[in-house]
C-alpha cells in the first residue's frame, strides 16, 4: 500500500481534522506557524479504521513507517529512542476529529525501562525525577495497555507512603521510588504472567494499539451516542517528544485561554505551576498561579505566550484553549483547540470578534448555539453551588426555581399571590391549574412529556418546569412525595432545574438572567440575515409586551380560551349550561366586553404588528369540573345520605358533564366544530376582535388582526366559518364607520386539512401549522399519555431517535406539511404559512421549517431570541444549497 | 331557432331518455315496434330547461310546433281538437329521464269544454261518460293548473252525492253531473276570478306550463335530493290521444308486469278492470281481476298482450311494468318501463334472463344492487305489517329483531342463553358487553355512530342494531327508557329495524332470510368477473365457517382481543396485574394453549385459505373495570366506613387502573406499542399462531397464516416486531420439524404509516388498511363521540355529504391510502394490499378500493356476498376506463 499513514507535524494539514484528529491538527498548525512544538508525528484516523477492519490488527508496514518517523524525532532532538545514555521519551495520545475530553487514553514517558531510566537520571541530574517518571509510566502503561486496575498500583504506593510515614507522593525519595518500581513490575508479572516490557519499541507498538482500542471503550461509545459523533470517525494517535516542566524553578506547566471563557472578556486567562507536570495541576496538590503572575516569574516566556495567543486567535479566528510546558526556561506548546465557553462568553466573544474584524457577522451567528441563548434567558443554578439531586425528570422549561412545596393549585395561587415562594408539585396539570402555575416559582409533575400541559404552559410563561418525573411518588392526600427513601412534605423547600430536569433538596444559589447589549447586537445581525419571520405565541398583554421586547414580529398564536379562565369562568360556565340559544347568547353578551378588552391589550402591546387570534379551541367540558371528581362527589353524598338542594344542583351539573364527556377529547367536539354547532360563540369572539381593532384604530394606532380557525378538517368548515367571520367583521366595520384590514386563516393541525389544503386555501388567506396536534394525530400519540406509557421507553431503547413533540418529525409530520404547503400555494400563491406548535421555538425544527418554505415560526416569548438566532443559522446553513435546490423541494 | 322541440312518438329515439324522458321514450319505442300506442308526441326536456332559463316562459315558436303536431294527431285519429262534433281529447303527462312516480302532474281529458262535451256525448252515445269526463277534467285542471285545492271540488261532489242520496261517484246521473260541472266552473271563477278556460288551445298551453312547473314543486325537489337525481335534468311533456276503457264491457284498463316483481317467477302478472279508467283501479272502488282472467274475458286482447310482453322483454332485455287500456275491444299501450322489483325477484330475474340468453352475466350483475343482496341476508319486517314507530336511530346493522327490553348485558346474556328473546338497550356498549350482545336478538343504543362498538360488533355478528338513537332517554337505575311520552320498561317488547333505524313498539311480523340458488349462481358469476378479492373479518371458528360459506377467500382480519374475553378474562387480568416480567410470562403461559385452540379452529374453518391474524390491539385497561366505576366504588365504600380486605383489594386494583388510564385511548398505549414494551405478549401470540398452524399441518391440512401488526407508526416498530415474529416462528418450526409458510404484515391505520409506507414495506409483506382508525385520525373524529356531538349535525346541515365511517372518504383518507400504496409498492412491487376497516363491506368504498388498486377487501361475514357483487360491479364499471387509465392513478 502506497497510502501515507504517518505524518510528521510539519507534514500534516491542520485543516484536515477528519484525518489527523483535533489534537494532531492543532499541533501541526502550530508547528507550521513556527511555534515551539516538541517534535512529533501523527498516525491517521484511517489507520484506526484499518485496524478495526482487520480484526484489530495493525496494518502491515505501519510500524516501519512509525520507526522512520521516530528516527526523525531522534534527529531533531539529538536523543535516541531506547538509548541508555540519552533516551528519547515520548507521549502517546489519542486525538479524535471531535473532542472527546477524558474519554480515551494517553500514555506519558514512554521509552523508559530499567536501563534508560538511569540515563534519564544522569542527564537530568535528578534521580528522583527519573524514577518518579518511570513509576508513573509503569502505572499508566499497566493500567491503560495491560488492563491492570488502577487501585492495585495505588495500594502499593500507599504501602510505601505509610512505610515512610509521608502523605504526598512527592515526598517519596528516589530510593523508595526504586522500590515502588520493583513492586510495580512484580504486580505486572503477577497480573499478566509476563514481565513488564523492557523493549521501548514493543512498548510503543502496544501503546498505539491501546489508543486504537480505547476508541471503542464503553465510556467513549456512550459519549459518542450522547453527542451524535459518528462511530466510524476513528481516532488518530499522536506521538510527541516528552518535555518536562518539573525540572526545577525555571520549568513549569500551564493551561490558558486566549480570552476569559466565563465572561468573554478579552484578557489572557489561565493558570500555571512552576516545577510541575500537567498531572500535578490536575491533582490539585499545589494551588496554581494566575497566568498574569508568569509575567513576573518568567517575563520572557510570558511575552512569548502573548505572541502565541495573538497568533493563534488570528489563525483560528476563535478563542483558543492552550496547554504549554516550560522546560528549563524554554516554552513548548502542547495543545491548542477552540475553547469551550459559557453562553455569556460565547455571545460576547462572537460580537467582539466581529468588531475586531476577526470574523464576519455570519460567522458570529454560527458561533453561538441557540441553546446558549436559551441559557441566558433564564435564571440558572450557580454552577459552583453544592446540590443534593434527589430525582431527575424531563427538562421541560428552562431555568431554575426554589420554593416551598405545595400540592394544590389553589394553595399555590393564594400563597403565591401573597408573595410567598412556592413550588407547585402535581401528578399533572390541567387548565384549572393555570392560576397556581402563574403564582408558583415553578412546577414539578410526575406525569406528562415535553409537551404536556404543565410543560407547554410553563414554557409559555417562561417558568421553570420539570415534568414526567416518574421517580417521585406523590400522595396528594398526605401532601407529600416520596423518592427513594427521601420524603418531601408540604412546605419543605426544593429546587428544580428546568434546564437539566434535576430535582434538588433545599434551596440552591442562583445566577440571574441577563440580556446583554452584545446579545441584542448579535440578534440584530441575525434579523438582517434570516429569511423566515419570528412571531410569538402570547395570550395576554404582558406576554405580548415581553414578546415585542424580545423582538417578535407579531403574534402567531393568541389562544382565546386562556382568556376564559379565572374570574371569567363563571360566565363561560353559564354559557355552557345554557339550555337555549337565547340563554347562550345572553351569557356570551356578558363575555363580549371582557374579550374585547383582552384584544385591545394585545393589539396595543404589539404596536401594529400582526396579531393572529385563534378562536376558542378546547372542548367545553374543560371548563366544567371533571366527570370523575363530580361523580365521586355525588355518589359519596348519596352514600352519606345527604340530600337536598346541594345534591340536586350537583346532579344537574353532572348530567351536563356526562353529556359533554368524550372518550377521546383530542379527537372530539372542539375547535371549529364548536363554531359550526354554536355559531354564536364564534360570532361573539369575532365581534370582540373586530370591536377591539376598531377601538384601537380610533385612537389612531395601527392594528392588524388575523382571525384563525382551529381544527379545520373539512372544506365546508372553512367556507361556513369564513363567511361567518367576514359577515360579523363587515357588520362591525359598518357600525363603527372605521375600516380595519383583517385576515382570515386556519390552523392546519388535522392530517386531512393538509391533504385538502388546496380547497381550504380558497378561503384561508394564511395557514398556521399546529404541529402539536398534527404530531399527535399523525403518530396517533396522545401527548398527555405517550411519554409515561411507551414513548419514554421508545427513546430509551432507541426505537425513536427524538421526541417528535420536541423536534418536528421530518419523515412523517413534515411530509404532511409539505403536501399542505404545496397544495395551499397551488390555490393561493401568496398564501402566508407559519407554524405555531411548540416546534416553532426549537432550532432543529426551525431549520426544517425554513427548508419547507414557511414564512414564519411562532413560539413562546421566551424562545423568541432563540428562534431569531436559529432562523438566521438555518438561512446561513442552507444558503449555498439554496442556490441549487428549490427550498420547498 | 332551428332546434326541434316537438317529436311525434315515431320520430323520437327511445334510447335518448335524457331528451325524451322515460315515459316518452317507452311510448316512442312501442310505437316504432308497431305496438298499438295512441298517437301522441313529446315536448323535450330541453324545452323544460329553456322554460326555466327564460324565467318560466315557454320558448317562442313552441306552441306553433305543438299545434303542428296536434294536426298530425288529428290526421291519425280522424278527430279534431276543439271540434264540437268529434273532439280530439288528449292527456298531458310529465315524463322525466328518471322515474319519479307520483311526484309530478298529469292532466287527462284535455280538450273538453261546454261544446265539445256534447260532441263526446253524442259520439260515445254516453252522456254520463261525457259529463263525468268533463267533471274530472275541470277538477284535475283546476287543481293542477289553477292551484285550487282538491278538497273544494270534493266538497261540491259530496254535496251532490248527499243530495242524490248516493254513495259512489259512479252512481251520479248525467243530469247531476251537469250540475256538478256548473258548480265546478263557479268554483273556478270564484277562486281565480276568471272563467274556466273554454278554449282547448289555451287549456293545452296552460297544461304544458303546469307540467314544467311541477318539475320544481316541493315534493319533486325532495324526491330528487333523496334519490340523487340531478336538478338540471328537467321533464319532458307527453301529449297523448285519450283512449277510454270505460266505454262498456268490451273496454277496460290494467297494469301488468312481464314477470312476477315480487318473486321473479316468469309469469305474466297483473290486474285489470273492465269498463273502467286508470283512476278507478287506483281508487280501489272495485276489486281488479287477475290478468289471467282476461284470457277468458277478452281472449284476443290477452293473446295480443302476451305478444306485447314478449316483444317488450326482448327489446328492453328487462322486466317491464306496463299500462294498457282496451277501448271497445281495441288494445292500447299507454306505458312501459323497467319494473321495480323486490331483492328476491331482482336476483331471480337476472339469473333467469342470463339462462334465457336475454342478457349477459355482466348485465345480470349490474342488474342487482348490493343493497338488495344485503336485504336478502337478514330477517326483514314484513312490509305489510302495521307498526308503531316511536323513534329513529342510525341503521347500524341490517335486519330486524324483536325482544324483551333488557338494560344490562349480564342479564341479556343469562336470559338469552336460557332461550329467552331479549333485546339489549344500552347508552353504549363496550367489550364487556360482548356476551350480552351475542345472546340478545339485537341491540339498541342511545349513543355512538355507524362504527361505534355496538354497530361494529353487531354487524360482525350479523345481528340487528340501531345505534345513536338520541331520542330515547335511558334510565339504567329505573330500568326504563323514555321517548316523548312513551315509557318503555324492562321486559316490554320492542322491535328494531337495523335496516331503517326504526324503533317500534311491540312485536312485528318478520320475513326470514333466504340464500337462494339463484343468488349463489349470480355471485359465482361475480367471482369470475371481479378483479379484487373478498375476505372476511372473523374472530371465531363459527364466524369463519359462515364467512367460508358466504364465499370469503380468506380471513382479512381476525381480532385476537375478542379471544381474551369471557372465561379468559381472569387470565388476561392476571397478566396485566403481574408486577414482573416473570409473573407476566406465567399468566401468558396459561393463555397460550387457549389461543392456540382458537387459531386451530380458525385455520380449519378456512380450509387452507389465508388467515390474517392481528396481534392484540386494544389498550390493556379495556380488560379492567372502568376507572370511573371503580373510583366511585372505592369512595362510596370509604364514605360508608367499610374497611378491610375487600377495600384494600379494590384500592390495589384502582391503582393499576389509574396507572393505565389514558386521556385519549385511541391515541394511546395499544397495538404494537404493547408488543414493543411487553414483547412477551406478542411472543405468546405468535407462538400460539405458529403452533396452531403446525398442528393443522400435521393433520395434513393446508394452512396459510398471515401475522399482522397493528398501529404501526414507526419503522423501528415494524423492524423490531418483524424480527420478533420471524424469530418465534422459526423456533416453532424448528421445534416441530414442520415447515409452515407464513407472512408478516402490518395494518396501515396511523396517518404516519401511510407516509412512511416505503420503509415499512421493507419488512411487511402485506398491508391492510385499517380505515376505521385511519378515518378517525385523518379527520380527528372520535367515532365513539363524533356522531352525537357534531357529526350528526354536520350531516343534517349538509356540511358533510356522507358519514366517513360508512363510506371511505375519497378526498382525504383515500389520498393517504394512495400515498401508502404507491410508496409501499415502490419498495415491494408484489406487496399485497387489503382493507379491513368497516368500509370493506361498503359497495361505494369497494369501488374506491378497486380504483386504488387494492388486492382485496375484508368485511364481516354477512357482508361477504354484498362485497362479492359490489367488487364485480366495480370491475365492470371501470373496465372500459381501465383500458386507458392506470388503475392506481
- A282 close contact with B: CB closer than 8 A: no
Report helix, strand or coil for B753: helix
Confidence of residue A1 (pLDDT cuts 50, 70, 90): very low
Torsion angle, alpha carbons of A857, A860, A866, A871, to 10: 0
| Nearest CB neighbour to A635, from listed B636, B755, B813 | B636
The answer for residues whose C-beta is within 8 angstroms of residue A753's C-beta and 6 or more apart is A712, A713, A746, A747, A760, A820
- B661, B780, B815: best to mutate for the A interface, most A CBs within 10 A: B780
- B711 close contact with A: CB closer than 8 A: yes
Q: What is the 3-state secondary structure (H, E, C) of A776-816?
A: HHHHCCCCCCHHHHHHHHHHHCCCCCCCCCCCCCCCCHHHH
| A770 annotated as a binding-site residue | yes
What is the total residue count of chain A? 889
Q: Name the minimum distance, in Å, from the CA of A773 to any CA of chain B.
A: 9
- Cβ contact B429:B454 at 8 Å: yes
Report helix, strand or coil for A829: coil
Between CA B644 and CA A93 the distance in angstroms is: 69
| Residue A749 with chain B: CB contacts under 8 Å | 780
| Nearest CB neighbour to A780, from listed B636, B711, B759 | B711
Instruction: Read off the pLDDT of each residue in B429-447 and give the average, rounded to a whole number.
Output: 86
Chain A, 658-697: which have a CB under 8 Å from a chain B CB?
662-669, 673, 676-677
Instruction: Read off the pLDDT of each residue in A629-644 and give the average, rounded to a whole number.
Output: 92
The answer for residues whose C-beta is within 8 angstroms of residue B634's C-beta and 6 or more apart is B647, B650, B651, B654
- pLDDT given at position B217: 85
DSSP H helices, A215-298, are: 218-226, 278-283, 294-297
| B771 annotated as a binding-site residue | yes
Q: Which is more confident, A452 or A321? A: A321
Mean pLDDT of all residues belonging to chain B: 91
| Nearest CB neighbour to B799, from listed A668, A716, A755 | A716
| Residue A664 with chain B: CB contacts under 8 Å | 664-667, 776, 782, 784-785
- pLDDT given at position B282: 53
CB neighbour class for A467 (10 Å; exposed up to 12, middle 13-18, buried from 19)? buried
> What percent of chain B has pLDDT above 70?
96
In chain A, CATH 3.30.470.20 covers: 74-337
| B403 annotated as a binding-site residue | no
| Nearest CB neighbour to B780, from listed A713, A785, A789 | A713
Q: What is the 3-state secondary structure (H, E, C) of B180-192?
A: HHHHHHHHHHHHH
| Nearest CB neighbour to A711, from listed B636, B780, B811 | B780
CATH ID of B530-619+662-879, from 3.40.50.740, 1.10.238.10, 3.20.20.60, 3.40.50.460: 3.20.20.60
Contact between B668 and A714 using a beta-carbon 8 Å cutoff: no
- B799 close contact with A: CB closer than 8 A: yes
What is the total residue count of chain B? 889
Q: How far is C-alpha B159 from the geometric centre of its chain's CA atoms?
A: 47
> What percent of chain A has pLDDT above 70?
96
Between CA B844 and CA B807 the distance in angstroms is: 6
- pLDDT given at position A433: 83
Q: At residue A282, does pLDDT exceed 60? A: no
In chain B, CATH 3.50.30.10 covers: 378-511
- Cβ contact A365:A525 at 8 Å: yes
Q: At residue A227, does pLDDT exceed 80? A: no
Contact between A794 and B676 using a beta-carbon 8 Å cutoff: yes
- pLDDT given at position B887: 30
Q: What is the pLDDT of residues A170-203, one digit of tens each?
A: 788 999 999 999 999 999 999 999 999 999 999 9
Q: What is the pLDDT of residues B43-77, one digit of tens each?
A: 999 999 999 999 999 999 999 999 999 999 999 99
- pLDDT given at position A283: 52
Residue of B nearest to A816 (CA): B755
User: What is the C-alpha R_g of chain A?
Assistant: 34
- A113 close contact with B: CB closer than 8 A: no
- pLDDT given at position B138: 96
CB neighbour class for A568 (10 Å; exposed up to 12, middle 13-18, buried from 19)? middle
| A749 annotated as a binding-site residue | yes
In chain A, CATH 3.20.20.60 covers: 530-619+662-879
- pLDDT given at position B788: 82
Instruction: Read off the pLDDT of each residue in A222-239 and give the average, rounded to a whole number.
Output: 86
CATH of domain B378-511: 3.50.30.10
Confidence of residue B883 (pLDDT cuts 50, 70, 90): very low
Q: What is the pLDDT of residues B161-199, one digit of tens each?
A: 999 998 877 788 999 999 999 999 999 999 999 999 999
CB atoms within 10 A of CB A202: 11
- pLDDT given at position A460: 62
| Residue A778 with chain B: CB contacts under 8 Å | 750-752, 755, 777
- pLDDT given at position A880: 56
Most confident of the following: B106-110, B178-182, B574-578: B178-182
Q: At residue B537, does pLDDT exceed 60? A: yes
Contact between B676 and A799 using a beta-carbon 8 Å cutoff: yes
| Residue B631 with chain A: CB contacts under 8 Å | 628, 631-632
- Among candidate residues B469, B672, B836, B859, the one labeled active-site is B836
- pLDDT given at position B459: 67
Q: What is the pLDDT of residues A574-598, one digit of tens each?
A: 999 998 889 999 999 999 999 999 9
DSSP H helices, B618-709, are: 627-639, 645-660, 672-677, 679-698
ipTM (interface pTM): 0.80
| Residue A640 with chain B: CB contacts under 8 Å | 639-640
CB neighbour class for B266 (10 Å; exposed up to 12, middle 13-18, buried from 19)? middle
Q: At residue B690, does pLDDT exceed 80? A: yes
Quick one: which of A93, A69, A99 has its CA closest to A144? A93
- B815 close contact with A: CB closer than 8 A: yes
Q: Name the minimum distance, in Å, from the CA of A371 to any CA of chain B.
A: 28
Instruction: Read off the pLDDT of each residue in A663-676 and give the average, rounded to a whole number.
Output: 94
A859 as an active site residue: the answer is: no
Residue of B nearest to A639 (CA): B636
Q: At residue A252, does pLDDT exceed 50? A: yes
Q: At residue A313, does pLDDT exceed 50? A: yes
Q: Name the minimum distance, in Å, from the CA of B707 to any CA of chain A.
A: 21
Mean pLDDT of all residues belonging to chain A: 91
CATH ID of A74-337, from 3.30.310.50, 3.40.1260.10, 3.30.470.20, 1.10.260.40: 3.30.470.20
Instruction: Read off the pLDDT of each residue in A728-745 and give the average, rounded to a whole number.
Output: 97
Q: Name the minimum distance, in Å, from the CA of A180 to any CA of chain B.
A: 52
- A711 close contact with B: CB closer than 8 A: yes
- pLDDT given at position A374: 82
- B667, B750, B822: best to mutate for the A interface, most A CBs within 10 A: B667
Q: At residue A449, does pLDDT exceed 80? A: no
- pLDDT given at position A281: 59
The answer for residues whose C-beta is within 8 angstroms of residue A44's C-beta and 6 or more apart is A5, A6, A7, A19, A20, A236
| Residue A816 with chain B: CB contacts under 8 Å | 751, 755
CA distance to A468, A752, A795, A846, per residue, from A808 (Å): 20, 18, 15, 9
A843-852 and A813-827 helices, crossing angle to 10°:
40
| B309 annotated as a binding-site residue | no
Q: Which residues pair with A466 in a beta bridge?
A: A395, A444
Q: At residue A673, does pLDDT exceed 80? A: yes
B878 as an active site residue: the answer is: no
Confidence of residue A884 (pLDDT cuts 50, 70, 90): very low
- pLDDT given at position B280: 64
The answer for residues whose C-beta is within 8 angstroms of residue A107's C-beta and 6 or more apart is A91, A92, A93, A137, A140, A141, A144, A145, A207, A210, A211
Amino acid at each position: 500500500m502506497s497510502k501515507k499513514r504517518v505524518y510528521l507535524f510539519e507534514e500534516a494539514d491542520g485543516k484536515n481534522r477528519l484525518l489527523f484528529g483535533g489534537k494532531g491538527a492543532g499541533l501541526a498548525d502550530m508547528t507550521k506557524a513556527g511555534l515551539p512544538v516538541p517534535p512529533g508525528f501523527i498516525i491517521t484516523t484511517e489507520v484506526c479504521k484499518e485496524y478495526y477492519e482487520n480484526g484489530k490488527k495493525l496494518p502491515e508496514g505501519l510500524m516501519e513507517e512509525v520507526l522512520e518517523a521516530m528516527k526523525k524525532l531522534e534527529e531533531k532532538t539529538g536523543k535516541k529512542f531506547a538509548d541508555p545514555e540519552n533516551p528519547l521519551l515520548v507521549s502517546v495520545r489519542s486525538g479524535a476529529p471531535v473532542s472527546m475530553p477524558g474519554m480515551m487514553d494517553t500514555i506519558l514517558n514512554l521509552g523508559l525501562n530499567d536501563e534508560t531510566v538511569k540515563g534519564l537520571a544522569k542527564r537530568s541530574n535528578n534521580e528522583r525525577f527519573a524514577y518518579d517518571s518511570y513509576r508513573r509510566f509503569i502505572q499508566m502503561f499497566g493500567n491503560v495497555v495491560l488492563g491492570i486496575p488502577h487501585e492495585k498500583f495505588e495500594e502499593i504506593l500507599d504501602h510505601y507512603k505509610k512505610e515512610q510515614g509521608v502523605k504526598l507522593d512527592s515526598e517519596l525519595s528516589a530510593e523508595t521510588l526504586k522500590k515502588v518500581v520493583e513492586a510495580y513490575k512484580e504486580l505486572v508479572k503477577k497480573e499478566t504472567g509476563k514481565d513488564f516490557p523492557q523493549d521501548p519499541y514493543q512498548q510503543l507498538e502496544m501503546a498505539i494499539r491501546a489508543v486504537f482500542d480505547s476508541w471503542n471503550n464503553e465510556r467513549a461509545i456512550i459519549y459518542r451516542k450522547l453527542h451524535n459523533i459518528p462511530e466510524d470517525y476513528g481516532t488518530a494517535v499522536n506521538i510527541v517528544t516528552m518535555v518536562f516542566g518539573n525540572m526545577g524553578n525555571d520549568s513549569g506547566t500551564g493551561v490558558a485561554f486566549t480570552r476569559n471563557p466565563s465572561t468573554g472578556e478579552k484578557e489572557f486567562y489561565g493558570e500555571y505551576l512552576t516545577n510541575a507536570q500537567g498531572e500535578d495541576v490536575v491533582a490539585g496538590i499545589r494551588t496554581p498561579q494566575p497566568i498574569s503572575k508568569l509575567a513576573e516569574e518568567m517575563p520572557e516566556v510570558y511575552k512569548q505566550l502573548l505572541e502565541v495567543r495573538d497568533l493563534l486567535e488570528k489563525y483560528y479566528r476563535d478563542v483558543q484553549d492552550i496547554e504549554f510546558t516550560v522546560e528549563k526556561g524554554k516554552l513548548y506548546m502542547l495543545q491548542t483547540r477552540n475553547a469551550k465557553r459559557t453562553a455569556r462568553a460565547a455571545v460576547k466573544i462572537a460580537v467582539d470578534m466581529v468588531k475586531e474584524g476577526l470574523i464576519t457577522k455570519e460567522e458570529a451567528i454560527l458561533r453561538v448555539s441557540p441553546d446558549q441563548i436559551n441559557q441566558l434567558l433564564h435564571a440558572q443554578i450557580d454552577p459552583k453551588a453544592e446540590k443534593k439531586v434527589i430525582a431527575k425528570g424531563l427538562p421541560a422549561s428552562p431555568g431554575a426555581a426554589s420554593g416551598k412545596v405545595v400540592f394544590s393549585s389553589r394553595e399555590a395561587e393564594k400563597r403565591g399571590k401573597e408573595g410567598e415562594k412556592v413550588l407547585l408539585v402535581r401528578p399533572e396539570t390541567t387548565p384549572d391549574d393555570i392560576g397556581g402555575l402563574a403564582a408558583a416559582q415553578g412546577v414539578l409533575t410526575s406525569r406528562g412529556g415535553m409537551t404536556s400541559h404543565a410543560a407547554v404552559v410553563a414554557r409559555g410563561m417562561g417558568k421553570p418546569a420539570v415534568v414526567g418525573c416518574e421517580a417521585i411518588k406523590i400522595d396528594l392526600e398526605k401532601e407529600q412525595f416520596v423518592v427513594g427513601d427521601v420524603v418531601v412534605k408540604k412546605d419543605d423547600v426544593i429546587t428544580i432545574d428546568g434546564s437539566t430536569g434535576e430535582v434538588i433538596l433545599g434551596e440552591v444559589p442562583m445566577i440571574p438572567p441577563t440580556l446583554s447589549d452584545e446579545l441584542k447586537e448579535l440578534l440584530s445581525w441575525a434579523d438582517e440575515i434570516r429569511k423566515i419571520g419570528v412571531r410569538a405565541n402570547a395570550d395576554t398583554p404582558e406576554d405580548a409586551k415581553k414578546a415585542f421586547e424580545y423582538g417578535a414580529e407579531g403574534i402567531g398564536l393568541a389562544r382565546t380560551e386562556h382568556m376564559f379562565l379565572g374570574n371569567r369562568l363563571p360566565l363561560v360556565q353559564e354559557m355552557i349550561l345554557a339550555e337555549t340559544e337565547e340563554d347562550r347568547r345572553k351569557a356570551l353578551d356578558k363575555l363580549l366586553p371582557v374579550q374585547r378588552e383582552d384584544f385591545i391589550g394585545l393589539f396595543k402591546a404589539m404596536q401594529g404588528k400582526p396579531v393572529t387570534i385563534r378562536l376558542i379551541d378546547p372542548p367545553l367540558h374543560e371548563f366544567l369540573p371533571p366527570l370523575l371528581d363530580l361523580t365521586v362527589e355525588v355518589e359519596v353524598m348519596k352514600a352519606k345520605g345527604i340530600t337536598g338542594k346541594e345534591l340536586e344542583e350537583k346532579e344537574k351539573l353532572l348530567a351536563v358533564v356526562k353529556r359533554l364527556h368524550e372518550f377521546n377529547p383530542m379527537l372530539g367536539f372542539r375547535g371549529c366544530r364548536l363554531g359550526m354547532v354554536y355559531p354564536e360563540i364564534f360570532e361573539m369572539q369575532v365581534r370582540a376582535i373586530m370591536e377591539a381593532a376598531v377601538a384601537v384604530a380610533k385612537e389612531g394606532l395601527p392594528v392588524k388582526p388575523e382571525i384563525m380557525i382551529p381544527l379545520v378538517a373539512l372544506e365546508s368548515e372553512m367556507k361556513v366559518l369564513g363567511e361567518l367571520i367576514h359577515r360579523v367583521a363587515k357588520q362591525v366595520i359598518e357600525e363603527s364607520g372605521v375600516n380595519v384590514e383583517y385576515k382570515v386563516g386556519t390552523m392546519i393541525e388535522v392530517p386531512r386539512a393538509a391533504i385538502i389544503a388546496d380547497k381550504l386555501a380558497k378561503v384561508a388567506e394564511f395557514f398556521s401549522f399546529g404541529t402539536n396536534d398534527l404530531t399527535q394525530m399523525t403518530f396517533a400519540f396522545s401527548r398527555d399519555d405517550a411519554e409515561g406509557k411507551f414513548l419514554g421507553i421508545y427513546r430509551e431503547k432507541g426505537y425513536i431517535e427524538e421526541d417528535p413533540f420536541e423536534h418536528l418529525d421530518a419523515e412523517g409530520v413534515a411530509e404532511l406539511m409539505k403536501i399542505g404547503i404545496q397544495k395551499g400555494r397551488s390555490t393561493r400563491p401568496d398564501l402566508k404559512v407559519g407554524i405555531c406548535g411548540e416546534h416553532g421555538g426549537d432550532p432543529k425544527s426551525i431549520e426544517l421549517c425554513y427548508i419547507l418554505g414557511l414564512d414564519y415560526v411562532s413560539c413562546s416569548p421566551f424562545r423568541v431570541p432563540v428562534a431569531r438566532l436559529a432562523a438566521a443559522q438555518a438561512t446561513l446553513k442552507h444558503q449555498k444549497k439554496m442556490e441549487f435546490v428549490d427550498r420547498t423541494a
